[in-house]
Structure 1
């Protein structure tokens, strides 16, 4: 990977430097009044204690995409012109803000770099509110804060729907790494543009200039104009401000490892109660739940909600309460022989905390097929988002798995693929899937269930998967299936192998023991060694064998593997954290 930098118009043909497009995607036009609200004079007066009044002369660039970090800018006089910008010099007008209108979207709750440019139209007087004051505002002024946060969310949705702004990914269509980066960005609800050098003039010019080798794909142009060759997810995180520069000397009240539903629940409740919280996520907030096309048994959503929407709301909620979320920030070691506790990240940095909550979930299982890695992202997928759905339009696909996630994915993909072949090793779905999903699958004519069946071979070449060989376990009969897309939902293993140095107790399957299970395991071990202590230490229900370290969600032994259960444990653990912190010596 290499870093370079473009001048703003270096690869931009003159005709492309400014395009006039619809300011709001058509499906959001009816909510324009919520996306761009006009504050009343009374509301502007309420905001004044949270910010500082500044003056900008005509033509001054107030915000620069990819560079400027801020909270919210409220126009008091004059006008501020807002436009999307993609790092290649392309600009698209969005709107102009007059008196009582404000500039910001969800990134500004955390003080991330802006995705838009803003220029003063005429002399402008504006109220500038920094991120920490913006968070204080939306909490202190509940009704006004609700309107502001709704506008911030809708503006991000607008950027995503417009499919412009943010980084530009340049690569041939079948690039394996291109799909992986797109999936990373999409999972984190980050707008981006994909250009194929065979089809786009700007992309060709960029490739002619940088002459990428096969291992350099994709070229990525960050919003600030810097160019990276085949960046890692961590490089992308830094490029976009998703991965902040964490202070190794700061001691957090809580470090949450894993930002799935359970971890986000802990972050929200702990942050709302005044604890300092750092959430570390290795790929994308929401975890595996975010890949669910529709969750229909989550309390309060009778018509269902997509996993992505639920996770996105929780992520914004965490930012609202001042939680620092670092993505991607995989933890690879927990250090418990000193206090405060330390979490070592994959890149070597260590962060400190008084308590650690393990909500690190699980890793996708791979079937034992020799060449599976060759086709990951080019025919083999472990989730089913809009990106994958668009790839398999009018194609036949195979989906392997019989759990709820597999059922949701099958129903979702059936709306795009011509046929979904659902492959399971057992004799039916009743033992592993909710009844409502089984009924829906039965009612969907283009989903075909294949029982007692498994994949035994993958066929393809450097361009991707071309077909698979299926075997019926009962008859031994094998058959070839000419499909180019296979979706694997065959479960996951607990992500706990990185905890060995700390001595966190796990069961035979690798799931983390907590509370009474820890006490029972230690009593058994002591008995086997002939030790009979009078008093066993009493642990909180979600506390592990290591004091101050808690486990919640799917990674915890005995947990119910459901979104609602994970969220419940995420909320429950906060009271146990408070109790632990209350008993610490004052000097700690």
Structure 2
């Protein structure tokens, strides 16, 4: 359909569905009709808290950088379609501007009214949520959203890009090493080299080398705003275990607060695709799984605070106090430790130097685009390494999978092994270890050694991906709860053997403090088991509150 020279964007994968007459009538009971004129701005880039609009007649176009030299048309919608994307639910700033392209009529539904309706009408809610999730993925693929301008050799540039990617923020990276006009522009604006990278946010606000917290605040992420009142359950870590606990805790009526130092999703959130998770036969990316879980938990009333890095845990008579690196505190009746684990690092010279530019511990689109058409190496033999190999093989010119052992199937699931060995641009190097990283400003090659013959060779690699196991994120718990010799949290009988008088299955040596997921001693390092432990922990929290006679905050209100 063509109107005023603009062609309506075809529906792709359910991103732009049309509402039925019955669904429009349901929405109309909570909104109002309004006539529209050409040029009327409905949603403005950088705006927070916009309404939900359904096009009844006429046409609406979405633009990035509307009425600027960088203006770009994103999509066009006609009658029956609705506007917006995931930011309407999350409270983030809008990443594009919606403008009336042909006069007609709209249905305007306040965002709060839409959220209530979505909770009451699952079919309509699923339709809108699915479309918004796909639209967010489309924006990420198009590079619409914030612009990060910085050098590929800058550690802060990498930090900001990883923060945006982990939080599923649409962004475009402009490399100062390759884009001369961008460098000239920064010079004209008086931006000094030490002030880069620069972030241009929706709406035009310019940030000079912002912290993660500052960027989160500007784009509308749920930055820390910890209340004075005591909550029922504080979840430290928003990986699969923490997200499951947030969903079940909030749905069971507990005042629930979830916190994470970087982004929701944890280690699983960095996975390009999880193919063996129940209920997703075609697989799902870790980022999308986390995004869905956050929306689900928020629907039940859970609060999320990102970034919020815990640094201490104290026990008091009326509960516990969590201290954060910014000096703030949160009082809570119970705590769930779900901080997971972080990847181990290779014991090789110059690792820290190349970590700024060429060494990665996740394989998402952000990292893949950095090494498009280049040779890359992956170290590891578990499922994370296998998934990374499958994903990166679509972008990299040549992939070398470096495995210390002699059998790839020892730690990797059979379905992954079968697919990896069939990839034409993947070379599997068994019983091989990395000895040196070589290069000037960025990685150029690896010196590897056959650990059976001792023979060494150089292999080309512009990027190195490391998946060699994990270490628990428990440094902030030192002296607070019992840990095993590797730093994992002891729970249940293990906690009792360490001195606890009586502990529930997932309870630590400190009464009222629980642990779930990869951070727990004896846990099974799988997404499904972490989700199960997170949900189970909520039931044990209820038992603890009941047996100790503590009042649930929500019940007291």
SS at match of 1:145: helix
- Distance, in Å, in 1 between the alignment partners of 2:295 and 2:324 is 24
Match of 2:384 among 405, 409, 429: 405
Match of 1:544 among 508, 513, 528: 508
Match of 2:194 among 208, 215, 231: 215
Gaps of 5+ in 1: 1-19, 524-535
- Distance, in Å, in 1 between the alignment partners of 2:347 and 2:69 is 47
Match of 2:134 among 142, 154, 160: 154
Per the alignment, residue 447 of structure 1 pairs with: 426
The TM-score normalised by the length of structure 1 is 0.83
- Distance, in Å, in 2 between the alignment partners of 1:553 and 1:468 is 34
Of residues 489-498 and 141-150 in structure 1, the stretch that sits farther from structure 2 once superposed is 141-150
Per the alignment, residue 425 of structure 1 pairs with: 404
The structure-2 alpha-carbon separation of the partners of 1:82 and 1:445, relative to structure 1 and needing over 3 Å to count, comes to: closer
Is the Cα contact below 8 Å between 1:243 and 1:329 reproduced in 2? no
Structure 1 residue 511, shift from structure 2 partner:
0.8
Per the alignment, residue 518 of structure 1 pairs with: 495
Of residues 184-193 and 391-400 in structure 1, the stretch that sits farther from structure 2 once superposed is 391-400
- Distance, in Å, in 2 between the alignment partners of 1:139 and 1:262 is 24
The structure-2 alpha-carbon separation of the partners of 1:157 and 1:384, relative to structure 1 and needing over 3 Å to count, comes to: closer
Structure 1 residue 497, shift from structure 2 partner:
1.1
- Distance, in Å, in 2 between the alignment partners of 1:344 and 1:98 is 51
Gaps of 5+ in 2: none
Per the alignment, residue 104 of structure 1 pairs with: 84
- Distance, in Å, in 2 between the alignment partners of 1:52 and 1:540 is 53
- Distance, in Å, in 2 between the alignment partners of 1:71 and 1:359 is 35
Structure 1 residue 98, shift from structure 2 partner:
6.8
Structure 1 position 572 matched with structure 2 position 536: yes
- Distance, in Å, in 2 between the alignment partners of 1:130 and 1:57 is 22
Structure 1 residue 577, shift from structure 2 partner:
2.1
The structure-2 alpha-carbon separation of the partners of 1:139 and 1:378, relative to structure 1 and needing over 3 Å to count, comes to: same
The structure-2 alpha-carbon separation of the partners of 1:127 and 1:582, relative to structure 1 and needing over 3 Å to count, comes to: farther
Per the alignment, residue 43 of structure 1 pairs with: 23
The structure-2 alpha-carbon separation of the partners of 1:303 and 1:152, relative to structure 1 and needing over 3 Å to count, comes to: closer
The structure-2 alpha-carbon separation of the partners of 1:86 and 1:578, relative to structure 1 and needing over 3 Å to count, comes to: farther
- Distance, in Å, in 2 between the alignment partners of 1:268 and 1:454 is 42
Is the Cα contact below 8 Å between 1:456 and 1:470 reproduced in 2? yes
1:311-352 residue CA offsets vs partner (Å, 9 max, x unmatched): 333233333333322222222222223534222222222223
Structure 1 residue 76, shift from structure 2 partner:
7.2
The structure-2 alpha-carbon separation of the partners of 1:158 and 1:449, relative to structure 1 and needing over 3 Å to count, comes to: closer
Of residues 547-556 and 194-203 in structure 1, the stretch that sits farther from structure 2 once superposed is 194-203
RMSD (Å), alpha carbons:
3.2
Per the alignment, residue 444 of structure 2 pairs with: 466
Match of 1:275 among 254, 273, 276: 254
Structure 1 position 189 matched with structure 2 position 171: no
1:78-121 residue CA offsets vs partner (Å, 9 max, x unmatched): 87654334897744345566776543322222322222334567
- Distance, in Å, in 1 between the alignment partners of 2:372 and 2:74 is 31
Per the alignment, residue 150 of structure 2 pairs with: 171
Structure 1 residue 160, shift from structure 2 partner:
2.0
The TM-score normalised by the length of structure 2 is 0.87
Of residues 179-188 and 85-94 in structure 1, the stretch that sits farther from structure 2 once superposed is 85-94
Per the alignment, residue 546 of structure 2 pairs with: 582
Is the Cα contact below 8 Å between 1:39 and 1:101 reproduced in 2? no
The structure-2 alpha-carbon separation of the partners of 1:396 and 1:21, relative to structure 1 and needing over 3 Å to count, comes to: farther
Per the alignment, residue 557 of structure 1 pairs with: 521
SS at match of 1:254: strand
Per the alignment, residue 44 of structure 2 pairs with: 64
The structure-2 alpha-carbon separation of the partners of 1:398 and 1:52, relative to structure 1 and needing over 3 Å to count, comes to: same
- Distance, in Å, in 1 between the alignment partners of 2:387 and 2:194 is 35
Is the Cα contact below 8 Å between 2:48 and 2:91 reproduced in 1? no
1:26-49 residue CA offsets vs partner (Å, 9 max, x unmatched): xx73446x5243352x43443356
1:535-577 residue CA offsets vs partner (Å, 9 max, x unmatched): x43x321121222221111001111111111111122122222
